[in-house]
């Protein structure tokens, strides 16, 4: 047992943190000094009985919604706040990036703060001097290093804080979503740096970026409302987490749907709205979002289904999915075109389909009063991970000339993830790599 | 009781070890503290000299020149005054500024793991500059008025240690409570104003009736102020007033223990409140 704990960089046993909600700070003082420990507070559990061990040299990721206690847990591990009950054992020097510019004095220049952070981490001024150039080069904030930290942008603050945190020889690196404020270039620089730390350093990492957790953590921990929901392989945990977050969004959507009332201006015939209830409620998807059209048809609902026929919001590349939507026909449509397009987070249309392009077929006219169900079954292509938006539309005409009857711009948002790395927007799949060596080079025999 | 006492001793040893381990942090913070005070001002560190000088001049002008204060025990009033003022101002600077030190450094308390109990010690270190200037001023005056300087002057080290310990104990108490109730900072200012006049700094204890003297001697700073004069003016060893010394250390230990206990009890709450 003792042998095991020696290999642990961080051991968290049954840690709880209750924030005591006081009516005033005077109550807090009275209680802290009360000889008979009278209670003046109401309890709020930010963390509830968390236990895990982080072995030396491994990288763990913590995921969870906002307010799930991730940051509190990190703060306790770093010793900034104290746990209410339980025990945290840490072996080695922690360098933490908890919040922007942690420990920086805003009145002092970047240079002075670099030195002071070093001293706080137990590195003497002389030693810091040797690393100073490297830190400044990494932070890359130019002349600002001689300016008071209070004049920094949040990006610069983060750059400096990160640069210092990784240059003070930590045994354990704790990073709390801080990277989110950096621009893409610096974020990548940081990730590369963290990756290079993976061999010699234990890493604890909080992120919303599922792909970062997937690609580099050995294990993931999922926190929700202060409780540890699960711990295990990042892929499994990510799946669980995403399913839960889908559940969460669904609840929100349903709540919104209840309040949103009828769709404005789209359909003056209120009897249609009454029938809406028979459809699956996803009204919020099209309730206030970009939609337009002549109105002979109305798209009522739209869902992406997985293989098991259940709605899905998180998709693996290569997975079989079904895009399903229902329409109400309010007037005759002679040459229907139904289609969808999928755009990435930049708004670029990545792929799509309609019944008039090769692979589809011509449809019979739609008549008033009909209810149409449309299903597109396809394999999710091997695209880069991220969020994708479905646009769906019903039009009348031919490919080159048609009028839209209902077009919904952001009908559906899904998240795509993949566990292997790739380059670019599309993965090209199997590649035959051949490299020929030129034997005539001077060193060769 | 014994267990508690042992705990206290252990806590004290841990504190001393902590001071040693974090000596660089203390030093850097003290340097910042001095610089920060004068950052952006034109004459900068010169203010540390201007301040005590003008204070002594004002008191000398009002009491020595205006009210025609007589030389005390054959020593010019200004010398006698400066010896007392040096002790008092070291004490009041440490206490007044340590009290607000935790509130003034939220970035250290909230964002990183930081032993906040060393903050009053930082103040002791950074205020030493002012004290040195006061002492050099005193020495200049002693030389000017041809008051001999003897080995007894070295006792100032002991008395300085006395006043820092008293200030440290009270500072732990006031600085931690001040996080919860910000009025403490104001109260300390007022308290220092009052005790300045209640301590025999600008007036001689001997002019009071003996009964009043005995009451005024309860003030621990009375011991330190007299000690400074013993060292520089009367050339007496500190063991002459053993009883006052015992009294002083009883009060100081009381404040050190109380301050440490209260600080330790309140410390976990600091990051949540600031």
Greater model confidence, B149 or B48: B149
Within 8 A of A107 by CB-CB distance, chain B residues are 36, 39
Enter the tokens of residue B273.
Answer: 């409140």
What region, left, alpha or beta, does residue B200 occupy, with left being phi > 0 and alpha being psi -120 to 50 degrees?
beta
CATH class of domain segment(s) A281-417:
mainly beta
Element containing residue A393 per DSSP (H, E): strand A386-397
Report the pLDDT value the prediction gives residue A275, as an integer from 0 to 100: 35
ipTM: 0.72
Mean pLDDT confidence for B229-256: 88
What's the CATH number for A2-241? 3.40.50.300
Greater model confidence, A423 or B121: B121
What distance in Å separates the CA atoms of residue A59 and residue A196, rounded to the nearest whole number? Answer: 12
Report the pLDDT value the prediction gives residue A6, as an integer from 0 to 100: 62
pLDDT digits (tens, 9 = 90+) for A302-331: 888 888 888 888 888 888 899 988 888 988
Mean pLDDT confidence for A108-118: 86
What distance in Å separates the CA atoms of residue A49 and residue A58, rounded to the nearest whole number? Answer: 23
Please choose, from the candidates A251, A265, A370, A228, the residue with its C-alpha nearest in 3D space to the C-alpha of residue A313.
A251
Find where tokens 């610096």 sit. Answer: A186
pLDDT digits (tens, 9 = 90+) for A37-67: 777 777 788 888 888 888 888 888 888 877 7
Mean pLDDT check: name the lowest of A128-137, A243-252, B132-141, B246-255. A243-252
B243 at A interface, C-beta within 8 A: no
Within 8 A of B36 by CB-CB distance, chain A residues are 107-108
Residue A287 in this model has a pLDDT that exceeds 70: no
Stated pTM of the model? 0.66
B181 at A interface, C-beta within 8 A: yes
Report the pLDDT value the prediction gives residue A2, as an integer from 0 to 100: 43
Q: Where are the alpha helices (DSSP H) in A51-183?
A: 70-78, 110-120, 125-139, 154-165
Which residues make up the CATH 3.40.50.300 domain(s) of chain A? 2-241
Residues A339/A304, Cβ–Cβ less than 8 Å: no
DSSP secondary-structure letter at A358?
B
pLDDT digits (tens, 9 = 90+) for A402-444: 888 888 877 888 888 887 778 888 888 888 888 888 776 665 4
Residues B254/B170, Cβ–Cβ less than 8 Å: no
Residues A66/A40, Cβ–Cβ less than 8 Å: no
Within 8 A of B29 by CB-CB distance, chain A residues are 116
How many residues does this entry show for chain B?
274
Residues A326/A277, Cβ–Cβ less than 8 Å: no
Strand locations in A261-348, DSSP E? 291-292, 297-305, 314-316, 320-329, 336-343
CB pairs under 8 A between A and B: 70
Mean pLDDT check: name the lowest of B65-79, B98-112, B136-150, B242-256. B65-79
pLDDT band at B152 (very low <50, low <70, confident <90, very high): confident
Mean pLDDT check: name the lowest of A20-24, A60-64, A188-192, B39-43. B39-43
Mean pLDDT confidence for A67-87: 84
Q: Which of the residues A22, A40, A103, A172 would you substitute to probe the B interface, choosing the one with the greatest number of B C-beta atoms within 10 Å?
A: A103
SS (H, E, C) A81-114: CCCCEEEEEECCCEEEECCCCCCCCCCCEHHHHH
What region, left, alpha or beta, does residue A315 occupy, with left being phi > 0 and alpha being psi -120 to 50 degrees?
beta
Residues B204/B222, Cβ–Cβ less than 8 Å: no
% of chain A exceeding 70 in pLDDT: 83
Find where tokens 């199997």 sit. Answer: A430
Enter the tokens of residue A126.
Answer: 């002389």
Greater model confidence, A384 or A294: A384
Average pLDDT in chain B = 86
List, in order, residues 6 or more apart from A369 with CB less than 8 Å away. Answer: A329
Does the beta-carbon distance from B107 to A80 stay under 8 Å?
no
Mean pLDDT confidence for B60-86: 80
pLDDT band at A267 (very low <50, low <70, confident <90, very high): very low
Residue A134 in this model has a pLDDT that exceeds 70: yes
| Cα–Cα distances in angstroms (integers) from residue B156 to residues A133, B49, B129, B161, B230, in the given order | 45, 20, 15, 8, 9
| Cα–Cα distances in angstroms (integers) from residue A258 to residues A127, A281, B269, in the given order | 63, 9, 43
- Nearest CB partner across the interface for B111, out of A32, A99, A124: A99
Mean pLDDT confidence for A145-158: 84
Element containing residue A202 per DSSP (H, E): strand A202-206
Residue B7 in this model has a pLDDT that exceeds 90: no
First to last CA, chain B: 35
How many residues does this entry show for chain A?
445
DSSP secondary-structure letter at A222?
E
Which residues make up the CATH 2.70.50.60 domain(s) of chain A? 281-417
Of the ranges A55-69, A89-103, A238-252, A280-294, the best mean pLDDT one: A55-69
């Amino acid at each position: 047992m003792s042998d095991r704990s020696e290999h642990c960089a961080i051991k968290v046993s049954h840690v709880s943190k209750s924030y005591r909600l006081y009516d005033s700070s005077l109550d807090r003082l009275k209680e802290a000094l009360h000889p008979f420990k009278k209670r003046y507070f109401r309890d709020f559990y930010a963390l509830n009985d968390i236990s895990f061990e982080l072995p030396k040299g491994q990288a763990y990721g913590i995921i969870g919604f906002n307010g799930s206690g991730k940051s509190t847990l990190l703060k306790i591990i770093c010793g900034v706040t104290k746990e209410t009950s339980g025990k945290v054992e840490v072996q080695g020097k922690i360098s933490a990036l908890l919040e922007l510019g942690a420990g920086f004095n805003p009145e002092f220049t970047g240079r002075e703060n670099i030195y002071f952070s070093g001293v706080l981490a137990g590195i003497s001024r002389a030693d810091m001097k040797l690393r100073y150039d490297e830190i400044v080069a990494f932070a890359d904030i130019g002349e600002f290093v001689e300016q008071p930290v209070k004049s920094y942008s949040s990006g610069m603050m983060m750059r400096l804080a990160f640069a210092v945190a990784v240059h003070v020889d930590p045994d354990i690196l704790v990073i709390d979503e801080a990277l989110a404020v950096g621009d893409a270039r610096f974020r990548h620089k940081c990730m590369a740096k963290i990756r290079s730390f993976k061999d010699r350093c234990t890493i604890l990492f909080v992120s919303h970026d599922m792909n970062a957790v997937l690609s580099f953590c050995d294990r993931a921990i999922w926190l929700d409302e202060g409780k540890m929901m699960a711990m295990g392989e990042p892929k499994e945990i990510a799946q669980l987490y995403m399913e839960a977050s889908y559940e969460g969004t669904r609840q929100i959507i349903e709540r919104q749907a209840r309040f949103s009332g009828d769709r404005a201006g789209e359909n003056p015939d209120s009897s249609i709205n009454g029938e809406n209830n028979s459809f699956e409620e996803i009204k919020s998807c099209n309730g206030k979002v970009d939609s337009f059209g002549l109105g002979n048809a109305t798209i009522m609902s739209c869902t992406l289904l997985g293989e098991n026929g259940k709605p899905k919001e998180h998709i693996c590349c290569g997975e079989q999915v079904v895009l399903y939507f229902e329409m109400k026909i309010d007037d005759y449509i002679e040459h229907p075109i139904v289609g969808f397009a999928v755009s990435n987070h930049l708004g670029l249309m990545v792929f799509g389909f309609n019944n008039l392009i090769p692979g589809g077929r011509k449809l019979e006219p739609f008549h008033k009063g009909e209810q149409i169900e449309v299903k597109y079954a396809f394999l999710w292509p091997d695209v880069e991970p991220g969020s994708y938006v479905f646009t769906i539309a019903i039009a009348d005409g031919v490919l080159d000339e048609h009028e839209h009857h209902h077009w919904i711009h952001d009908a559906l948002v899904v998240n795509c993830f993949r566990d292997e790395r790739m380059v670019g927007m599309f993965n090209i799949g199997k590649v035959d790599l051949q490299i020929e060596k030129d034997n005539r080079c001077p060193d060769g025999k | 009781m014994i267990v508690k006492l042992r705990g206290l001793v252990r806590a004290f040893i841990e504190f001393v070890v902590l001071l040693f381990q974090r000596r660089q942090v203390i030093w850097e913070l003290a340097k910042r503290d001095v610089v920060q005070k004068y950052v952006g001002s034109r004459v900068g560190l010169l203010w540390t000299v201007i301040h005590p000088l003008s204070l002594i001049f004002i008191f000398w002008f009002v009491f020595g020149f205006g009210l025609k204060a007589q030389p005390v025990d054959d020593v010019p009033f200004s010398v006698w005054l400066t010896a007392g003022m040096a002790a008092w101002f070291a004490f009041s600077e440490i206490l007044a500024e340590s009290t607000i030190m935790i509130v003034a450094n939220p970035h250290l308390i909230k964002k990183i793991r930081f032993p906040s109990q060393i903050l009053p010690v930082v103040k002791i270190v950074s205020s030493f500059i002012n004290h040195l200037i006061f002492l050099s001023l005193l020495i200049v005056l002693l030389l000017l008025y041809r008051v001999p300087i003897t080995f007894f002057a070295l006792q100032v080290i002991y008395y300085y240690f006395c006043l820092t310990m008293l200030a440290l104990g009270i500072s732990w108490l006031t600085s931690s409570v001040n996080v919860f109730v910000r009025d403490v900072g104001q109260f300390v200012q007022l308290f220092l104003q009052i005790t300045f006049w209640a301590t025999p700094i600008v007036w001689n204890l001997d002019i009071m009736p003996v009964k009043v003297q005995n009451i005024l001697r309860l003030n621990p700073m009375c011991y330190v102020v007299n000690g400074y004069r013993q060292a520089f003016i009367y050339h007496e060893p500190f063991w002459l007033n053993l009883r006052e010394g015992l009294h002083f250390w009883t009060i100081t230990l009381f404040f050190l223990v109380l301050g440490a206990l209260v600080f330790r009890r309140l410390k976990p709450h600091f990051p949540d409140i600031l």
